[in-house]
Structure 1
Amino acid sequence: MHTDISTKEIAQYRCPLCQQALLLKEKSYRCENNHSFDQAKQGYVNLLPVQFKHSKEPGDNKAMVQARRAFLDKGYYQPLLDSMLTLYQKYGDKNAAIFDAGCGEGFYTHQHKTEHNSVYGVDIAKETIKIAAKRYQDCFFSVATLSDLPYANEQFGWIYSVYAPILENEFTRILQNQGYFLTVTPADNHLFELKSMIYRQATKHDTTKQVIEQLTLVEEQRLNYPMNFSNSDDVLNLLAMTPFAFKASDELIAQLKQQKQFTCQADFVLRLYQKTH
């Protein structure tokens, strides 16, 4: 469903500088203290003030974004998305707003959108948000930092984080009472076959869960399935998405290009938490 949201809903943001509500007037979000943030032509808004940036272009670069988009478009992580949506259907308030923390190019974001909810995605990488906003116009995207989110307290009924840093205090602040927070992290054998080609002694992922003190664990799932590749471009795109890509030698890249078939495990842990107080 691709609709023009501007006529139906107005995004709810708060000013990253003074925490007052931002109102959209003629393509600019402005607060009562006159801080102003322009809406880009793609529809997103940059709510990352220059003084909050730690580098010129924080987040993933364009090549990484394009590799991830090409890989995800092929459906290799569809079983993960299906598991996430099943949990949302089972537990979520279908009218409450949803937040995708570290949304990337919007692959998971837009598939949570229904006619009854509003869905927000944030990423620190402007290139990524530009792609997401242009492609999925029924969601609200902004450039921002997860450590200081541009949202009011208790704005969301459902938050999820796929591989993004988990900043418990900030996520808990914007989560409604009785709302849910879903984390997706790599399990032991995630991409083990690919790692084994790069490292002499590939280690398994550390799956000890990050301590989340303010929320109650409701459900935990393990999702493991084989990804069968018959196109080397898909494998190279997957490699480009990983933190160990920079360790891959030219010889390994050449070897992967020659391989007609490659099988690699996808292995995830999904943990669903609820804010109960």
Structure 2
Amino acid sequence: MTVLTSQPSAHPSEQPKYRCPLCQHPLQLSDKTYRCSNNHCFDQAKQGYVNLLPVQFKHSKAPGDNKAMVQARRAFLDQGHYQPLIDKMLALYQEYADLAGEVFDAGCGEGFYTHQHKTAVNTVYGVDIAKEAIKIAAKRYQNCHFSVATLADLPFANEQFAWITSVYAPILEEEFTRILNNNGYLLTVTPGEKHLFELKELIYQQAKAHDESKQPIEKLKMLAEHKVNYAMCFANSDDAINLLAMTPFAFKASQAVIDKLKSTTSFTCHADFVLRLYKK
């Protein structure tokens, strides 16, 4: 099996292929400005990303995860607690994908899953609605292309991608299918029944298991379904606190729960993922 390796931190040499979010015409990059034939312009930020979310498309001042959630997720993922998930995702990519095709990570956050797919022969894009997340991603993983945009109206041409990943992000079949090329693949990662159940038990009086039966993909053909389930053992409170902070549970947790996690010397919590692979 081919081993994917992250490439050196350098801006990709290829011209990023985006379309204008206002008129859907192709964007060309020149002097750090993306411009379409209708003269709509979008400046490239110093970190290397481009903001393709016009203000009129925003539903709030700062949509997406806030800075604290982004930093907590980055700190947690850097500890390798989700490595078994990464290993399975990359194994499926190597088994099924056109490894020279373009890759898209939908709802990429700070780019942790995005950059894992980068090789010397492919082109990898990540999109998120959270500007704080994209700033971190673009600065840290300069061998991928990152942009701020909405998943509901992606800044890409029809049938552009050979491989799309969606990890804990909204799954929008119609739009994903539009940008997926014929015989391309979509890999979704959603919570398994017991995902973070021990954490939920601290917060809710009656913790409920995730419903695995929900499948937002209806038209694409599902080729495979895999489950990745294992116990995460945290030897310090920082990992448990970061895990809490990067999830929506953070808004429900009482101060007593937070204090309990801060004072703990060990905490065990299950990771439980459902991976579904679809083909167009």
Q: Provide TM-score, normalisation by structure 1.
A: 0.98
Provide the residue aligned with 2:240 in structure 1: 235
Cα–Cα, structure 1 residues 85 and 257, in superposed 2: closer, same or farther, change >3 Å?
A: same
Amino acid in structure 1 at the alignment position of 2:21: P
Q: Does 1:5 align with 2:40?
A: no
Once the two structures are superposed, residues 198-256 of structure 1 have per-residue CA deviations (whole angstroms, 9 ceiling, x without a partner) of 11110001111324222100000011000000110100000011111111111111111
SS at match of 1:4: coil
Q: What residue in structure 2 maps to residue 134 of structure 1?
A: 139
- 1:136-161 CA-to-partner distances (Å, cap 9, x unmatched) read 00000000000000000000000010
Letter in 2 for 1:215: L
Alignment correspondent of 2:48:
43
One-letter amino acid matched to 1:45? V
| Alpha-carbon RMSD | 0.8
* Residues 213-252 of structure 1 mapped to structure 2, 5 A cutoff: 213-252=218-257
Number of aligned positions between the proteins: 274
Amino acid at match of 2:194: N
Residue of structure 1 aligned with 2:188, choices 183, 199, 216: 183
How far does residue 3 in structure 1 lie from its aligned partner after superposition? 4.0
Aligned to 1:204: 209
The residue type paired with residue 19 of structure 1 is Q
Task: Work out whether residues 193 and 264 of structure 1, in 8 Å CA contact, stay in contact via their aligned partners in 2.
Answer: yes
User: Match for 1:82: what amino acid?
Assistant: D
Query: Percent of aligned positions with the same letter in both sequences?
Result: 71
Match of 2:126 in 1: 121
Counterpart CA distance in 1 for 2:183 and 2:160 is 12
Alignment of 1:90-101 (within 5 A): 90-101=95-106
- Check conservation: 1:186, 1:205, Cα contact below 8 A: yes
CA contact (8 A) 1:124 1:144 kept: yes
The within-5 A match list for 1:93-172 is 93-172=98-177
Which one-letter code corresponds to 1:5 in the other structure? H
SS across alignment from 1:107 = coil
- The AA in structure 2 aligned to 1:4 is A
Post-superposition Cα deviations, 1:75-108, rounded to whole Å, max 9, x if no partner, equal 0001101100000000000000000000000000
- The answer on 1:83 being equivalent to 2:88 is yes
| Aligned match for 1:58, one of 42, 45, 63 | 63
| Cα distance in 2, alignment partners of residues 96 and 82 from structure 1 | 20
Q: Secondary structure in 2 aligned to 1:13?
A: coil
AA matched with 1:114: T
Q: Is the 8 A contact 1:172 1:214 kept in 2?
A: no
SS at match of 2:208: coil
Give the C-alpha shift of residue 2 in structure 1: 2.2
Checking the alignment, whether the CA contact within 8 Å between 2:173 and 2:216 is kept in structure 1 is: no
Structure 1 unaligned segments of length 5 or more: list them.
none
Distance 1:257 1:209, change over 3 A: same
1:69 match: secondary structure? helix
Q: 2:82 aligned with 1:70, yes or no? A: no
Structure 1 equivalent of residue 4 of structure 2: none
**Is the contact between residue 106 and residue 166 of structure 2 (CA under 8 Å) also seen in structure 1?**
yes
Is the Cα–Cα contact under 8 Å of residues 99 and 156 in structure 1 kept in the other structure? yes
| Distance across 1 between alignment mates of 2:10 and 2:200 | 43
TM-score by length of 2: 0.97
**SS of structure 2 residue aligned to 1:40:** coil
